[in-house]
Chains A and B, each alone.
Chain A
Amino acid sequence: MTIMTYRQALHDTLAEEMRRDDSVVLIGEEIGHFEGSYKITAGLLAEFGPTRVRDTPIAEEGFVGAAIGAAMLGMRPVVELMTINFSLLAIDQIVNHAAKIHAMFGGQVSVPIVIRTPGGGGQQLGASHSQNIEVYYAHIPGLKVVAPATPADAKGLLTAAIHDDDPVLVVENLGLYNAKGDVPDGDHELTIGTAAVVKPGTDITIVAYSRALTVALEVARELEQDGVSAEVVDLRSLRPLDRHTVVASVRKTSRAVVLEDDWLSYGIGAEIAATIQEGAFDYLDAPVRRVAAAEVPVPYAKPLETASLPDATALRKVVGEILDATAFSR
């Protein structure tokens, strides 16, 4: 184990995979000479040269599509989109092409492409730069979508994504790049499509992913002090979704809350709630609750932005309400 940042874990994984396989190429805006908007690719141009680390024009649809076309011929491009907000410029290529090509052409060709991109609000970047729209992609059969919450998972899921022969969207988070944690040395690959119980517990299940996991764990530890045993499930993979891990947890705890950075309506939490009511209806002691972002374009002014985003206080409040409603004695 080595302690490092989420940024470093991504960087090292990219470098390692590029050394291992020369069909892995990086494509994106400002990833070479500028070393990446968030410096994930720092030093890689120097090590691998301009044909392996391709700076692109500002043309998201063009270069994402080009990466898909290159993948159809057997390259393994890893595309960086500066933020998930800009993925909307490329959504036709991602949704109508990358996700469709394997099935629509009868399985004759695969699209082994990775698209890495950070979501996340809370940086005072204003409405167009602060979205968590991973659900747009998690809705689409043919895509795989993962959202690592820790440096170790950043390594494990990015490695899996690069080894995978399907298009994989790796949703990073602006608020996590500087987060530190233990990262396994050597090979470390997680299985896409599986969730993890990151803290076992018996009284309530908190489901989270990406940055929200950090908040969920913080609240779970506090609850422990109050005699409440919370189980925390990290989804890790948004498509496919590991419904079994969620349901097994709720069958044990009988209470559930989802903490998510995206908007409430039609969000990831809605899918989790539907999963729980179908898989654990008879086990539930209270309705499933969701703690999600306020449904407004994310504001710039700090107090407004803070008010609009889900946080530990909101989660604590909702956990308290669920426990009270079920006469949980503390």
Chain B
Amino acid sequence: MTDQSATRPARPRRGRASTAAEPAVAGRGPRDGSREVAPETLVAYYRQMALIRAFELRASEMYQRARIGGYCHLNLGEEATVVGLMAPLEPSDYLFTTYREHGYALARGSSPGRVMAELFGKQDGISGGWGGSMHLFDKAARLYGGYGIVGGQIPLATGAALAIAQRNEPGPDCPAVMCLMGDGTTNIGAFHESLNIAAVWRLPVVYVVVNNGLGMGTSVEASSGEPDLYKRGASYRIPGERVDGDDVVAVRAAAEAALTRARREHQPMLVEAVSQRLRGHSVVDPARYRSAEEVEAAKKADPVPAMRARLVASGALDAEAADRIDAEAEAAVDEAVAFAEKSPDPDIGKLFSNVYTTPVPNAPHQLPGDPLFAPGELEENVAAR
């Protein structure tokens, strides 16, 4: 017996890898760094990354100040991945994601105020105050939900792709579904059942693994028999590609290629973005299981200052303009917080309004301590018979 674990890389190589020698995908964009991309586009990406960074730092602060309840998972460190993945999505495409999804909502164009209001549990929240941080939904932006059950979104996204396949011929205008998940999520049964279904039914869905190296405190190497996560579609003949998640343009290119394949061929694909988590699993996690060197390395590779530095170095931005972008992000977040603070609490009188779509007789409506039958209700009802 050889010690298998010794041969495993501690962290995947950054840069590109793929299960196909040259994946047969059309419409391939540039995939390394900022070459061939218009400077304004890169600046626009930086603007989104800065907004997500500012929003997440503020969410953390608001959580400490007890404005936000429940669990709260942040995209800190994943900004380049988030923005790169959202860039090639068309308005007609559908996005299913996880509980770590504030950034995706912002990059998809949801109002920061309504997202913050949802975290605050307010009436103007993007899910009406019913979902909280883990359950953002924006029908207009076709953000079809953040889901708090690990892997729960994967069968749903696969079914959304089924509905699309049922109604649309393959072609450049066919909508596609993007389904996000974390590295740890590739170990759950729903992942494997869904990839198999997408393969046999030929569904236009792109599965994206955001590999931040950890599922809570458990490393990829400790939890995945195949730690090269982009290879995990192999038993379903789903091609996979790994990209550097700190490189917004590379992420965009990989996502775009996979989406194009989904649209034109109704074929699923698996993309792995090697990213990182700058802080704990959620805002309350001190992450004591991580070594100081690991945390230091993550900080060094932080994609937000790196992007800013690159833009300034290339002349796409001067320092002043970069500062302005950062200040605008702060201002947008100030505004979002003010909006959330002002929004009223959801109406308790509407507690039962969203249980069902089709009204149904005898739907329960008791608050705790209420009698099963309102006074007089039974007499009336018995008399009516």
Contacts and interface: CB of A to CB of B under 8 A. Distances in A.
Nearest to B129: A106
Interface in A1-31: 25
Contacts of B245: none
A20 to B, nearest CB: 17
B130 A106 contact: yes
Nearest to A66: B159
A62 B194 contact: yes
A193 B196 contact: no
Interface string B223-255: 000000000000000000000000000000000
Interface string A50-65: 0100101101011111
Contacts of A284: none
B381 interface: yes
Interface stretch (B325-333, B334-342, B349-357): B349-357
Number of chain B interface residues as a range: 35 or more
B194 A65 contact: yes
A59 B166 CA distance: 20
B190 A65 contact: yes
A65 B159 contact: yes
Contact of B152 (A93, A163, A275): A93
Nearest to A106: B128
B158 A66 contact: yes
A144 B364 CA distance: 12
Contacts of B200: 57
Given A51-B166, A74-B163, A104 B361 contact: no
Interface stretch (A95-103, A201-209, A262-270): A95-103
Given A70-B163, A240-B363, A65 B357 contact: no
Interface in B129-159: 129-131, 135, 137-139, 144-145, 147, 149, 152, 154-159
A240 B360 contact: yes
A65 B381 contact: no
A45 interface: no
Nearest to A280: B378
Given A105-B145, A193-B360, A65 B354 contact: no
B357 A110 contact: yes
B300 interface: no
Nearest to B360: A193
A28 to B, nearest CB: 13
B193 A142 contact: no
A211 interface: no
A107 to B, nearest CB: 4
A168 B381 CA distance: 27
Given A73-B164, A193-B361, A66 B127 contact: no
Contacts of A323: none
B193 A57 contact: yes
Contact of A65 (B127, B155, B196): B155
B357 A165 contact: yes
Contact of A66 (B137, B197, B354, B381): B197
A62 B197 CA distance: 7
Contacts, number: 188
Contacts of B9: none
Contacts of B361: 191, 193-194, 240, 242
A55 to B, nearest CB: 10
Interface residues of A, number: 60
Contact of B163 (A65, A73, A105, A193): A73
Contacts of A309: none
A67 interface: yes
Contacts of A71: 159
A75 B164 CA distance: 10
Contacts of B289: none
Nearest to A58: B193
B90 to A, nearest CB: 15
A194 B359 CA distance: 13
B375 interface: no
Interface stretch (A121-129, A222-230, A244-252): A244-252
Contacts of B381: 244, 247-248
Contact of A251 (B125, B129, B157, B382): B382
Interface string A164-205: 111000000000000000000000000111100000000000
Contacts of A103: 130, 354-355
Nearest to B346: A106
A65 B158 contact: yes
B189 interface: yes
Interface in B180-224: 189-190, 193-194, 196-197, 200-201
A287 interface: no
A108 B139 CA distance: 7
Of B137, B152, B355, B362, which is in contact with the most chain A CB atoms at under 10 Å from its CB?
B362
B46 interface: no
B163 A75 contact: yes
Given A73-B164, A75-B166, A61 B193 contact: yes
Contacts of B130: 103-106
B193 A105 contact: no
B166 A275 contact: no
A273 interface: no
A246 B273 CA distance: 58
A241 interface: yes
A71 B127 CA distance: 19
B359 to A, nearest CB: 9
Given A106-B128, A110-B357, A193-B362, A278 B135 contact: no
A46 B353 CA distance: 42
A72 interface: yes
Interface of B: 94, 96, 125-131, 135, 137-139, 144-145, 147, 149, 152, 154-164, 166, 189-190, 193-194, 196-197, 200-201, 353-358, 360-364, 371-373, 378, 381-382, 385
Interface of A: 25, 51, 54, 56-57, 59, 61-75, 77, 92-93, 96-97, 101-110, 112, 141-142, 144, 163-166, 191-194, 237, 240-244, 247-248, 251, 275, 278-279
25 contacts: A59-B197, A61-B189, A63-B193, A63-B197, A64-B155, A65-B190, A66-B158, A66-B162, A69-B158, A69-B162, A69-B163, A72-B163, A75-B163, A77-B159, A93-B152, A103-B130, A103-B354, A104-B137, A108-B137, A164-B360, A191-B360, A194-B362, A275-B372, A278-B373, A279-B378
